[in-house]
Structure 1
Amino acid sequence: MEIINFTKMQGTGNDFIVIEDFQGKYANLEGLAIKLCDRHFGIGADGILIVTKSNIADIQMIIINADGSYASMCGNGIRCFAKYVFEKKYVQKENMKIETGDGVKLANICIKDGFAESVNINMGKYNFNPSSIPALSKSEIINKKIEVSNKEYYITSMFMGVPHTIVFGKQEEYQVEEGKFIEHLDLFPEKTNVNFCEIVGRNVIRVKTWERGAGPTLACGTGSCASVVAANRLGYIDKKVEVQVPGGVITVEIAKNEVLMEGPAEITFEGEFFLN
């Protein structure tokens, strides 16, 4: 029997299990994530975050979804990760570089009484190119009409660290579970996250997300960023926006061709898991 030390964290309700692995001893991360993220027989989470060494940044984050699939980037996850490595004193910098599957991201820590009160992440560039999403389309997918299960949707798709598809409309018009049908469309060979976005005003939107590999979540950082970018592209909103998600509030700003995201990150509890 192996004992795994872990920290449970959440960012606007999107929850993660943080595990240190500087020696690379966990070879089967897929199986580990499935076991730990099970909310009945494990700890329960939307995914696991592995803390490990980096040769190109201050630290490296590896993300595995609850179903065992790999994710190159996670907005809420990286805020939790930055808080963790700062407060555990692995990286004692207000501005730290974190290696992810989507490249090196810059995290700015807002410190209060020695703790990371909030985290601002430069999420990098967004991309509407279908080959980058990837999507089987010859042109950008902007407000494209599709029909799934006898229901019409107008979708906008892009790459924001991971694939995202946005559907605009009133929140009550859609059940978040409808996202699973869009996720598995042949249009998206590697599947897609799906965000249902309601425009409240020029500076406020509401977003609920069906996450690829996790299902409905209380928040999605990359999804919030993608929703802001898509809504701005369509002329619905300005460039700095409050994003209301079921688990709280995230602030997203488009700066030139990059996206900045700020929001909370909290430690829920720490413990030991007995791995059979």
Structure 2
Amino acid sequence: MILDFLKIEGLGNDFVVIDNRENIIKDYSLITRKLCSRRFGIGGDGVLFVENSEEADCEMIIYNADGSYAAMCGNGIRCFAKYVYEKKICMCNPITIKTGDGIKKAYLELENDKVENVKINMGKESFNPKNIPLVGEEEFINKTIVAGNKEYRVTSLLMGVPHTVVLGALKDIDINEGAFIEKSEYFPKGTNVNFCEVINNEYIKVKTWERGAGATLACGTGSCACAVVTSKLGLTNNKVTVEVPGGKMMVEVNENEVYMIGPCNIVFEGTIEI
């Protein structure tokens, strides 16, 4: 089978996009693992599948590089919005996009009819252990856990997908430590892990170990999770610049919702035989 694809990135978090509105792909997990292989495929942190929707302008289905399903991805949905607009699948602004975490609105910043930046209403976070999920009935807010024979002070929440935030100086951490936390016994379905350093009340730095993908150059939902946690703990204002290895984005935390603003860029497009 020959597939048309587009490779796109948001702050270095890279994705393959497939238009699946005609239901060509049946096994999302298998196809994703093949496409995301950086040696034998196209290479990417995940695959975004464009689907029809009766509830929104379109639907985004996302699978991580290891073939696991993800309900939501912040960088991914910005890239997805650029794709469906520039491919003239959805020519409205804002675009409503159905995800596994509900319907999201994407507000497009256009220049010469090209999408330069996208603002996403990410919805509201949840610290409820059942929603994340966590073991037990206690919220993980500034809680000590042990993973890989090391203690960490963490805060865990659902920001579309499960996230755990570890505060501290980034120079003192090895991003690969995220693997121990991701699969630790506290998180029955695993967790994304964000190491976050507060520079001042308007600026934070974040490195993310993504569940199912490993170390990434950027994570949109992870950046939002860090902004929510630092705001909740009184360390930052409600609007912060988040610096990730792939660049910078803005996150605004309001009482009922979180907004993320950032860029997205097309890398290349083509066809692949699978």
TM over 0.5: yes
What residue number does 1:7 align with? 6
Aligned equivalent of 1:32: 31
> 2:230 maps to which residue?
231
**Sequence identity percentage:** 53
Runs of 5+ consecutive residues of structure 1 not aligned to the other structure: none
1:206 aligns with: 205
8 Å CA contact 2:184–2:190 kept in 1: the answer is: yes
Residue 188 of structure 2 corresponds to residue 189 of structure 1:
yes
Aligned mates of 1:137, 1:248 — CA distance in 2:
37
Q: Does 1:50 align with 2:68?
A: no
Q: Distance in 1 between matches of 2:152 and 2:27?
A: 38
Amino acid at match of 2:105: L
In the other structure, the counterpart of 2:136 is 137
* Secondary structure, aligned partner of 1:79: helix
SS of aligned partner of 1:44: coil
Report the alpha carbon displacement of residue 149 of structure 1 after superposing the two structures with TM.
2.5
Aligned-pair CA distance for 1:246: 0.2
Counterpart Cα distance in 2 of 1:252 and 1:89: 28
- Deviation per CA, 1:222-256, whole angstroms, max 9, x where unpaired? 00000000111111101000000000001000122
Which structure 1 residue ranges, 4+ long, deviate > 3 Å from structure 2? none
Letter in 1 for 2:211: R
Q: CA deviation at 1:148?
A: 2.0
Partner Cα distance (2:85, 2:165) in 1: 33
RMSD: 0.7
**Distance in 2 (alpha carbons) for counterparts of 1:27 and 1:227:** 35
**Aligned residues of 2:218 and 2:244 also touching (Cα < 8 A):** yes
The whole-number CA distance in structure 1 between the counterparts of 2:72 and 2:198 is 25
- Structure 2 runs not aligned, ≥5 long: none
3-state SS of paired residue (2:2): strand
| Structure 1 residue identity aligned to 2:44 | A
Say which is worse superposed, 11-20 or 141-150, in terms of deviation. 141-150
Q: Distance in 2 between matches of 1:92 and 1:148?
A: 47
Q: Is the 8 A contact 2:148 2:181 kept in 1?
A: no
Aligned 8 A contact 1:94 1:110 in 2: no
1:94 is matched by which residue type in structure 2? N
Q: Deviations over 1:32-88 (max 9, x none)?
A: 000000000000000000011001000000000000000000000000000010111
1:260 offset after TM fit, Å?
Answer: 0.1
Within 5 Å, give how 1:243-254 maps onto structure 2.
Answer: 243-254=242-253
CA contact (8 A) 1:193 1:212 kept: yes
Look up the match of 1:117. 116
Provide the C-alpha distance between the structure 1 equivalents of 2:77 and 2:84, rounded to a whole number of angstroms. Answer: 10
- For the 8 Å contact 1:218–1:245, the answer to whether it is kept is yes
Secondary structure of 2:123's counterpart equals: strand
Contact 1:36 1:44 in 2 (8 A): yes
Q: Using the TM superposition, give the Cα deviation of residue 137 of structure 1 relative to its aligned residue in structure 2, in angstroms.
A: 2.6
3-state DSSP of counterpart to 1:124: coil
Could you state the TM-score of these two structures normalised by the residue count of structure 1?
Answer: 0.98
Which residue of the partner structure matches residue 263 of structure 1? 262
Deviation at 1:94, TM superposition (A): 1.6
- Matched residue type, 1:156: T
Match for 2:96: what amino acid?
A: K
1:146 Cα offset (Å) = 1.4
* Secondary structure of the structure 2 residue equivalent to 1:195: strand
Count of aligned positions? 274
Q: Which residue of 1 aligns with 2:240?
A: 241
In structure 2, what residue type is equivalent to 1:27?
A: K
- Written as runs of structure 1 = structure 2, the 5 A alignment for 1:73-88 is 73-88=72-87
- Which amino acid letter does the alignment assign opposite residue 120 of structure 1? K
1:69 aligned partner: 68
Tell me, in whole angstroms, the C-alpha distance in 2 between the residues paired with 1:79 and 1:269.
17
- Distance, in Å, in 2 between the alignment partners of 1:226 and 1:31 is 29
Taking structure 2 as the reference length, the TM-score comes to 0.99
Within 2, Cα distance between the matches of 1:246 and 1:265? 15
Q: Which residue of 1 aligns with 2:96?
A: 97
Query: Letter of the aligned partner of 2:249 in structure 1?
Result: I
Q: Distance in 2 between matches of 1:256 and 1:142?
A: 18
The aligned counterpart of 1:176 is 175
1:162 aligned partner: 161
